[in-house]
């Protein structure tokens, strides 16, 4: 499918693995210039090498380290993209963290702030730095990664639940403010995807129950995510395909929306 993004520049946060990396692969194969960002240069370099070997494309793929919890890093990132490529046309915020989890009454201000800094304020910083570039380009797409937790919150993950719900509201707010400028803002809400975050959760569960990681994932899907109709974890590629569509010219009338890629995990039909 021709997404009509050949020659566009795409900035992807949290891009050294998982959904971010899978999205980068699709967009690169569609002819976009790819700027990956994450906190660790070594992991970025590894992701770039893998993408270049896996994709049949001549697209430019580079990495710039930045910590989205630090405003100075985000400003540096935006300047680097502007100086080298003239600005971003596509911005995808995949960076996120589960953060502190546990009984609500046991979570401290510091626990909440840890999650807020990454999952909410990180998205705010990225939007504040890159929306001006999208406006200058006169064509833009911004996709923020939320979660099923925004619609179907889990009791032990209250900071993450709240931040992901806020991400959807933020995206809607931006869509109301700037969409007459041909800039479209949308969200994607995955559930239980094979990413480093859920891998770590499954590793901890496997140790706790003295079972294999696969057995842990199966147990978790059955007991903690019983509404996943497909009864499995999703893949990064399954999420990335929907993100890529939202970044395309073919999504030209999709704005302020949230797409659930959750295998049926959210029980309500209208959530």
Would you say residue 64 lies in a domain?
Answer: yes
Tell me how far apart the alpha carbons of residues 91 and 88 are, in angstroms, rounded to a whole number: 7
Cα–Cα nearest to 154, from 225, 86, 106:
225
Q: What is the pLDDT of residues 166-198, one digit of tens each?
A: 999 999 999 999 988 899 999 999 988 888 778
Tell me how far apart the alpha carbons of residues 23 and 139 are, in angstroms, rounded to a whole number: 19
Q: Counting beta carbons within 10 angstroms of the beta carbon of residue 39, is it exposed (0 to 12), middle (13 to 18) or buried (19 or more)? A: middle
Would you say residue 224 lies in a domain?
Answer: no
CA 265 to chain centre: 18
CA 225 to chain centre: 20
Q: What is the pLDDT of residues 120-148, one digit of tens each?
A: 999 999 999 999 999 999 999 999 999 99
Q: How many domains does the chain have?
A: 1
Q: Tell me the CB-side half-sphere exposure of residue 80, using CA atoms within 13 A.
A: 15
Q: Which residue has the tokens 């939202």?
A: 246
Residues 86-124 as b or e (16 or more Cβ within 10 Å = b): ebbbbbbbbbbbbbbbeeeeebeeebbebbbbbbbbbbb
Would you say residue 30 lies in a domain?
Answer: yes
In this predicted structure, what is the pLDDT of residue 271? 65
- What's the pTM value of the predicted model, to 2 decimals? 0.92
In this predicted structure, what is the pLDDT of residue 56? 80
In angstroms, how far is the first alpha carbon of the chain from the final one? 30
Mean pLDDT for the stretch of residues 151-172: 95
Would you say residue 229 lies in a domain?
Answer: no
- CATH code where residue 122 lies: 3.40.50.720
Would you say residue 267 lies in a domain?
Answer: no
Q: In this predicted structure, which of 22-26, 104-108, 181-185, 263-267 has the lowest mean pLDDT?
A: 263-267
Would you say residue 253 lies in a domain?
Answer: yes
Determine the structural domain holding residue 239 and report its residue range: 9-193+235-261
Tell me how far apart the alpha carbons of residues 20 and 18 are, in angstroms, rounded to a whole number: 6
Would you say residue 217 lies in a domain?
Answer: no
Would you say residue 48 lies in a domain?
Answer: yes
Assess whether pLDDT exceeds 70 at residue 13: yes
In this predicted structure, what is the pLDDT of residue 192? 84
In this predicted structure, what is the pLDDT of residue 21? 96
């Amino acid at each position: 499918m021709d997404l009509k993004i050949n020659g566009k520049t795409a900035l992807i946060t949290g891009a050294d693995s998982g959904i971010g990396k899978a999205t980068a692969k699709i967009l690169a194969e569609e002819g976009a210039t790819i700027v990956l960002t994450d906190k660790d240069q070594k992991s970025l370099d590894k992701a770039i090498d893998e993408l270049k070997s896996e994709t049949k494309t001549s697209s430019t793929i580079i990495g710039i380290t930045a910590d989205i919890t630090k405003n100075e890093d985000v400003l540096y990132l935006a300047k680097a993209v502007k100086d080298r490529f003239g600005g971003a046309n596509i911005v995808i915020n995949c960076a996120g963290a589960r953060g502190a989890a546990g009984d609500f009454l046991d979570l401290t201000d510091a626990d909440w702030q840890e999650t807020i800094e990454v999952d909410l304020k990180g998205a705010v910083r990225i939007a504040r730095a890159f929306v001006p570039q999208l406006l200058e380009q006169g064509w833009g797409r911004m996709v923020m990664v939320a979660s099923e937790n925004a619609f179907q919150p889990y009791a032990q993950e209250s900071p993450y639940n709240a931040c992901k719900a806020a991400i959807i509201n933020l995206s809607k707010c931006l869509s109301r403010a700037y969409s007459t400028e041909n800039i479209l803002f949308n969200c994607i809400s995955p559930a239980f995807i094979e990413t480093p975050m859920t891998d770590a959760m499954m590793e901890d569960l496997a140790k706790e129950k003295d079972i294999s990681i696969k057995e842990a994932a199966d147990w978790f899907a059955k007991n903690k995510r019983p509404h996943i109709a497909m009864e499995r974890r999703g893949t990064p590629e399954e999420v990335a395909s929907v993100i890529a569509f939202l970044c395309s010219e073919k999504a030209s009338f999709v704005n302020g929306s949230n797409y659930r890629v959750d295998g049926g995990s959210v029980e309500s039909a209208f959530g």
